[in-house]
Amino acid sequence: MTKARTTMVLAAGYGARMRPLTERMPKPLVPLAGRALVDHVLGRLADAGVETAVINVHYLPEQLEAHMQARAGQGPKTIISDERAALLDTGGGTKKALPLLGDGPFFIHNSDSAWAEGATPALPEMLRLWDPSKMDCLLLLAPIATSIGYSARGDFDMAEDGRLTRRGEDPVPFAFAGVSLCEPRLFENAPEGAFSLNVLWDQALAKGRLYGVRLDGRWMHVGTPESLEEATASLEREGA
């Protein structure tokens, strides 16, 4: 099975929709069921065999740096990618960190992406399905029908072979769950400066090389204080 030794953890944003909680702390440090959101992420990465997590910082960066220092000795090892000078969005931030991410496949993981695992853990399943001969990027997708805190019309539809198409005018059954798997070559034609990963996904879509994997579990869209409370209650009920 493919291994991903590194991960980009996207942690630099302002978390505006999570105010007032994020007026005093960056969103990755907001507690979910007694643990910081980013600690849920790092624990899951360690369980999947990830050795190094590169974490970008911009908003209240000293708090995130101190939190990572306090975690020293716990896996995975963490490296800070400093975006104090300019916030680079999801694509630009990952592109800046490429020298730290290495040559092999790596995850890109939102620092607020949370879910309760089903029978098939998500990250190992993504690694099992990764096929660079036909994929430029593999996205983790959550069925909207079983998700918590999500009320939009979805992001993608998925064919039986996993190939993705964007939502059109009609709703689609899957939302992006905040995790993707790719290799550095995804960024070969990336723009300079700040840009969204959606730019690169659209390039992959045009070539028929954007794929998805269905989350076997319950995704929690932790975007607001209200959805945070709902996700906490769900995790406590499920003992996750």
Mean pLDDT of 33-54: 93
Output the pTM of the full model.
Answer: 0.94
Residue 1 counted as domain residue: no
Residues 119-175 have pLDDT tens digits of 999 999 999 999 999 999 999 999 998 888 887 888 899 999 999 999 988 889 999
- Determine which helix (DSSP H) or strand (DSSP E) holds 143, and give its type and residue range: strand 137-143
* Cα–Cα distance measured from residue 224 to residue 231, given in angstroms and rounded to the nearest whole number: 10
Residue 143 counted as domain residue: yes
Query: 67: how many CB neighbours lie within 10 A of its CB?
Result: 19
Per-residue pLDDT at 238: 64
Q: Domain range holding 150?
A: 6-238
Residue 239 has pLDDT above 60, yes or no: no
* Cα–Cα distance measured from residue 84 to residue 88, given in angstroms and rounded to the nearest whole number: 10
Residue 88 counted as domain residue: yes
Q: Are 182 and 97 in contact (CB under 8 A)?
A: no
Query: 187: how many CB neighbours lie within 10 A of its CB?
Result: 17
Q: Are 61 and 84 in contact (CB under 8 A)?
A: yes
Q: What CATH number is attached to the domain comprising 167? A: 3.90.550.10
- Determine which helix (DSSP H) or strand (DSSP E) holds 123, and give its type and residue range: helix 122-129
Q: How many domains does the chain have?
A: 1
Peptide bond into 124 cis (omega under 30): no
Band the pLDDT of 5: cuts 50, 70, 90. Answer: very high
Over the chain, what is the mean pLDDT? 92
Share of the chain above pLDDT 90, in %: 72
Residue 188 counted as domain residue: yes
